[in-house]
Amino acid sequence: MKKIDLVQEVAKESELSLSSARLAVDAVFGVIGRHIEAGDEKIVLPGLGLLVRRRVSPRRARNPRTGEIVEMAARDRLVFRPRSVIEGILKQRSQ
């Protein structure tokens, strides 16, 4: 699903114009983005799951092009944890 598809669905479901739905979608993503930038550890997306900030430890990695071993710095990573209902749907579809 692309952003325009989401905007069209929101417009249809909420009986908004496309421009109003685009503003609403942009506002939601903007708020989520600002909270991620602010360092929030967990963002709850009701009905979908959680966006969780995880700290990745420093490690050694290999440059696949040159084979050189490089040191990777510690960093934050954003992980999506789906709700159990969504996980169940995904498991059913994969079988």
pLDDT in tens, 11-23: 999 999 999 999 9
Residues 22-68: tens digit of each pLDDT: 999 999 999 999 999 998 889 999 888 999 999 999 999 999 999 99
Quote the pLDDT of residue 51. Answer: 93
- CB atoms under 10 Å from CB of 62, counted, come to 10
pLDDT at residue number 50: 93
Q: Pairing between strand 59-62 and 49-56?
A: unpaired
pLDDT at 89: 81
pTM, two decimal places: 0.70
**Residue 14 CB burial class (10 angstroms; 0-12, 13-18, ≥19):** exposed
Q: Is the pLDDT of residue 84 over 90?
A: no
Neighbours of 21 (CB within 10 A): 20
Q: Does residue 67 come out as left (phi exceeding 0), alpha (psi in the -120 to 50 range) or beta? A: left
Residue 3, pLDDT above cutoff 90: yes
